[in-house]
Amino acid sequence: MTVQVHLRSDEMVVATPTLKLFEGSDCRSNDLDGQAQGVQQGVMPGKNTRFNWQMSAQNGEVGSDDYTRANFSVKQDGSTGIGLGRPAEPSNVVASRDSADPTRVNVEWSDPATDETHFEIFNSTLRQAKGAPKDSTSFVWTGLPLGKQCFQVRAVNANGASDFTPVNPKSECV
C-alpha cells in the first residue's frame, strides 16, 4: 500500500491511496496481479477532521483466489494544538462600547476553529494586540481612550495564525 499525501497552497492536506497485490514469496516481487486506487480525499484545517478508506485488491487471474485488504484513516488531530495547518479564521466580529464605562469595549466573534491554542484581538486604532484563551468568543478591552476604536480577531495555533476578521482593519469600529 502507498499513500501519497501532500499539502496544497490553501493548507488542505490531500491523501491519495493505492493498494497493489503482487504475486511472489518476498517483498521484492514485481509481478503485479491486482490493484485498487482509492478516492482522493482532502482534510481542511478547522473543517473536515477525518476520512476513512477501506480498500481491497484481488488477483485477476482465473482460478486464483489471492486478495488483500487495507483500512486506514487520515485525520486532523486538534487535540495536540498542532493539527494540519493554520486554524480557521473567526467570523461575525462585533465590537460594542460599554454604556456604563466608555473606556471598555466588548469584542465578540464566532469560533469555527477546532484547533486554536488562543486568539489575538488587534486594536488597529492603537496598533496593539491582546490575547484570549482557546474556545473564547469574547474579550473585554479596558482602559481605552475615548474616540473611534477598531478591532480585528484571529485564531492562532502552533502552525501559525488565521487571517484576521474582518479583513479591513477599519470595518469593525465603535
pLDDT digits over 46-91, tens only? 555 667 777 777 776 777 777 777 777 766 654 444 455 788 899 9
| Residue of higher predicted confidence among 157 and 58 | 157
pTM exceeds cut of 0.85: no
Query: What's the average model confidence in pLDDT over 10-30?
Result: 75
Average pLDDT, the chain: 83
Rounded Cα–Cα distance for residues 153 and 161 (Å):
10
Domains and CATH numbers, the chain: 2-76 (no CATH), 91-161 (2.60.40.10)
Rounded Cα–Cα distance for residues 53 and 2 (Å):
13
Distances (CA, A) of 167 to 89, 130, 152: 10, 18, 8
Report yes or no: 154 and 90 within 8 Å, Cβ to Cβ.
Answer: yes
Rounded Cα–Cα distance for residues 19 and 93 (Å):
46
| Residue of higher predicted confidence among 77 and 141 | 141
Would the CA dihedral through 80, 81, 82, 84 be positive or negative? positive
Task: State what percent of residues in the chain have pLDDT above 90.
Answer: 44
Report yes or no: 129 and 139 within 8 Å, Cβ to Cβ.
Answer: no
Residue 134's pLDDT band (cuts 50, 70, 90): very high
